[in-house]
Structure 1
Amino acid sequence: MANTDEKIHVVMFPWLAFGHVTPWLELAKLLAAKGHKISFISTPTIIDRLPKPPSNLPSTLHFVKLQLPQVEGLPQDAEATIDLPANKVQYLKIALDKLQEPFAKVLESLDPDWIFYDFAQYWVGPIAAHLGIKSSFFSICIAAMVAFLGPPSPLIDGDDSRKKPEDFTIPPKWVPFQTTVAYKYYDIKNSFDCVEDDASGVNDLIRWGLSMQSCDFIAVRSSFEIEPEWLQVLETIHEKPVFPVGQLPPVEYELEEKHSDAWSSMKKWLDFQDKSSVVYVAFGSEAKPSQAQLTELALGLELSGLPFFWVLRTRRGIDDTDLIELPPGFEERTRGQGVVCTTWAPQLMILAHESIGGFLTHSGWSSVVEALTFQKALILLTFYSDQGINARVLEEKKIGYSLPRNELDGSFTRDSVAESLRLVMVSEEGKMYRDKAKDVSGLFGDRDRQDRYVDNVLIYLEKSSTSQESQVIFSRELSSAC
């Protein structure tokens, strides 16, 4: 535990996506559990959707609602990326950028010691500096992803030598070691719109660059046990302290859903399956397969012969007109083999169930952490954003197996789906992935280890009055201590 009687006040302001909000909330709970005051800022709808924190959490975690303005192109009541098709997220950023003045007033009234902010809120650092408040850019992306983006100046000025998707398929020049971590062409092609200006006028790379440039230190969801080399790259290219906050494994909430009829029905089906026999299929709150991908996935699951539990998201918000459908007759043919769930499903409780043996996942890091916490083998199928880099890191460390795909367009076949699932779930050749999931479980889900990372961050926050030079030294001392 951090040995100090003085408590600090931290404001936390994540990007308006549940894939960001959820790990941010985990960190907020860990800080609040040590008696520090946390003001967690988000939109009313997002805050109202959050699960109820555990009853034993101290009353030091407070939620602050900041109402988004209505802007042209943004559907009414859409306050999170989950409410929107991908092409309308740009309007959410316009609304977010219009919060600068009201946010500054809220921050001034809260008068915290620190503000943690996300990549989209590139304007928070200067506001905090003007108010005399220290700031941290907190990335839920792993250190390899943040390092892959590179130093701030090229991102901000647009003079990064990488201009084409192909340029991102090799490790960047500032990485001093041999690595296979880089994008596949199909992954970066799907994500390349982030380097183009969108309707907000500020593309994602500029937002990242400005956010990292204006903060006092960088916090990243990572750990020395998993990414020591990438954390060192980050500190070198940014020339400021970089702190891993740990993997932020989820703490199960005291939820009414645990006793709901929906979960009871799911659990009943899972209880009838053999131990470690079921493949769980889910691609997070935002990743959505194309119709062609959905068809091959479904037929591949059927062809594998393995029992499956599939949480399928068929649309992103009411404005998503690109509907996808399962192949005709699929659910009837597989009724005894698997379950397709198109509504709410409690991922933590599903992954914790002993019948689940493997997880076909989009490689979102929260899902990776949850799966490995419960020792589930990983089969990787990426869609966009940081998922491609996550998958390469997992491949390089032999923690996950990527489904074989066409290198240019990312297409895959039902046969490759079936073969990949059988390899990881049951074959002798894939036993290494099942064993590795068990071996690394402690590196992802150990509570004491996570507690030490939070203490390291708190020590730094509490000693923030020291000189910048001594702060950098302090960061490196903590790195070697872990």
Structure 2
Amino acid sequence: GLLHEIELKKAQLPENLNPVSNDLINIRDIRKAELVCDGIVVNTFEELENEYVKEFKSIKGNGKVWCIGPVSAINKLSSDKAERGQKQCRFETLQPWLDSKEPGSVIYACLGSISGLTKWQLIELGLGLESSGKPFIWVIRENPKSNEIEKWILDEKFEDRVKDRGIIIHGWSPQLWVLSHPAIGAFLTHCGWNSTMEAVSAGVPVITCPLFAEQFINEKLVVDVLGIGVSAGVESAVTWGLEDKFGLLMKRERVKNAINEVMEKSEAGEERRRKAKQIGETANKAIEKGGSSYQEMEMLIQFVLQRTTEVAQTSS
């Protein structure tokens, strides 16, 4: 069983756990591949989920599990972090705007690159950001449905309404750079693993809005285990590609309340920020020379070289 008491509703379970789902077949294929592979490389670091890493390595038996993350933290220079985004992010606008804000005062909201949330769901998110009263950056990824929310933004003059304290990025953004800016106080995220690791390495508390796949499990990690997140109250998962068939999962009032809770100056809020900062420092130490992930990468390289030599000798 799990090493912590974690509760998930049936509606929050990954689709691949549904016995009639085609995804379950894919998971079974992955499990079969794990039995015959030379090892498994994981984008995490031992200190983040130490007990689970030990348990996973124990289950695998041969010990060929390498935790080399957070891989995004390899980008140390601001220019490197910025280049992870694309040019349409209006970088020249973001820099002075963020520099003008108080440290830890801005919400960065981005729900990933493959989510296809409906216009109504995105409207709820936008209104929640607006009603929170906090400065924010809202990233709206380009997808086949994005023209609907763009029309709403224009019709409602939403950007004009929030222009003094909000920026909307239409398309991609330099997420790693933004999260590393001192003005960012929290990351409203879908809890995809890459985004989760970027929040962790930046030392930023999170507001969780999981959508599908393993994202609800990631939410439990950051909220219940690590203590660096606040849930926006999403109670059920959507099926990717069929988002139109689901009702409103995020509601503006819950989004607003989660933002206010994560940004509050209470003892709980300060403790959440302290934990996030501490974990961020640990994450960055892990990839430095002598750190846990650095050592794991060295062992991985050594294993690959040794395995290559063995295969070459067998073939000759």
Where do 1:165-180 residues align within 5 Å? 175=1, 177-180=3-6
* 8 Å CA contact retained: 2:3, 2:52: no
Deviations 1:202-247 (A, max 9, x none): 9421332232122022222232212222223323443332232232
* 8 Å CA contact retained: 1:283, 1:362: yes
1-side partners of 2:57 and 2:26: how far apart?
21
| One of 154, 157, 168 as aligned partner of 1:340 | 168
* 8 Å CA contact retained: 2:14, 2:213: no
* 1:454 match: secondary structure: helix
Deviation at 1:269, TM superposition (A): 1.7
User: Given the alignment of the two structures, is residue 229 of structure 1 paired with residue 51 of structure 2, yes or no?
Assistant: yes
* 8 Å CA contact retained: 2:42, 2:67: yes
| One of 216, 220, 227 as aligned partner of 1:398 | 227
Alignment match, 1:251: 75
Alignment match, 1:456: 299
Cα pair distance change 1:189/1:397, threshold 3 Å: closer
Cα pair distance change 1:257/1:239, threshold 3 Å: closer
Deviation at 1:266, TM superposition (A): 1.6
1:290 maps to a residue whose letter is T
Deviation at 1:336, TM superposition (A): 1.5
| One of 13, 16, 33 as aligned partner of 1:188 | 13
2-side partners of 1:195 and 1:234: how far apart?
27
Alignment match, 2:36: 214
Cα pair distance change 1:302/1:465, threshold 3 Å: closer
Alignment match, 1:412: 250
| One of 363, 366, 375 as aligned partner of 2:203 | 375
* 8 Å CA contact retained: 2:12, 2:236: no
Which structure has more helix as a fraction of its residues? 2
Deviation at 1:178, TM superposition (A): 4.1
2-side partners of 1:214 and 1:463: how far apart?
18
* 8 Å CA contact retained: 2:102, 2:183: yes
* Structure with bigger gyration radius: 1
Cα pair distance change 1:195/1:387, threshold 3 Å: farther
C-alpha RMSD of matched pairs (Å): 3.2
* 1:243 match: secondary structure: strand
TM-score (norm: length of structure 1): 0.53
Cα pair distance change 1:288/1:176, threshold 3 Å: closer
Deviations 1:280-330 (A, max 9, x none): 111222123333321211111111000001111141xxxx35854146332
1:219 maps to a residue whose letter is V
Deviation at 1:187, TM superposition (A): 3.0
* 2:172 match: secondary structure: coil
Where do 1:318-357 residues align within 5 Å? 320=144, 324-325=148-149, 326=152, 328-357=156-185
Higher relative contact order (CA 8 A, sep 6+): 2
Q: Percent identity?
A: 26
2-side partners of 1:269 and 1:464: how far apart?
51
| One of 420, 440, 443 as aligned partner of 2:282 | 443
* 8 Å CA contact retained: 1:195, 1:205: no
Aligned pair count reads 285
